[in-house]
Amino acid sequence: MVGFGTWGRGLRSGGILCFGDSLTEGFGVGRDEAYPALLQQRLRDHGYPQRVINAGVSGETTGDALYRLPKWVRAQPEVAIVALGANDAFLGVPLSIMTSNLAEIIVAFQGAGSRVVLAGLSIPGLFGVGEPEAFSSVFPDLATRHGVSLVADFLAGVPGQRRYNLLDGFHPNGAGYHLIMERVWEVLQPLLPPV
């Protein structure tokens, strides 16, 4: 997997950018256990040449992501996997703002010629976030509106499950990231050229 220092290398020749927050970065686990690293190994195992870049930043909201977006758009990844929004929910960012920010991110990557995979999220009721159904509907609505691929529920079966979580009950452990990688792989593989 490619680190931050080599962000410009390899992307234009078929790189896959994982653009997100702590759920991408791998908060609480080694970066080699987070889903981008597992995805890189899956690609290698199946003979794909694409390189995976982990561009996750813990604690980031969709608004924060807009500030660093231009650097990654300039890199013109073949595929950009966008997994953002959980921190917006926890911090009470209005859904209209979160939706607008995600749309801007999607359109920017599409403008650079990237195929976009959007990670759908749902927020378990145990976190006390208001309007969970309205929050969850943002992602399929955006995917339909902008014609992008959707990982329907990026975290399905992970939050609140001790087997798949860190002690905070939300962030995935290594086993949880394996579930997430499989979910992402199902959506990503059809977008890749045959090997």
Based on the residue annotation, tell me whether 88 is a catalytic residue of this protein: no
Identified catalytic residue from 22, 114, 122, 136 = 22
The phi, psi pair for 104, rounded to 5°, reads: -65, -40
Active-site residue, 122 included:
no
Q: Do 129 and 119 form a contact (C-beta atoms < 8 A)?
A: no
Catalytic residue among 46, 64, 168, 178: 168
Q: Which of 46, 96, 171, 178 is labelled catalytic?
A: 171
In the structure encoding, which two tokens stand for residue 138, read together? 């943002």
Residue 19, strand partner residues: 55, 82
CA 6 to chain centre: 19
Residues sharing a CB contact under 8 Å with residue 39, sequence separation 6 or more, in sequence order: 16, 18, 52, 181, 184, 185, 188
Residue 10: CB atoms within 10 A of its CB come to 19
Q: What is the DSSP string of 33-73?
A: TSHHHHHHHHHHHTT----EEEEE-TT--HHHHHHHHHHHH
**What residues act catalytically?**
22, 168, 171
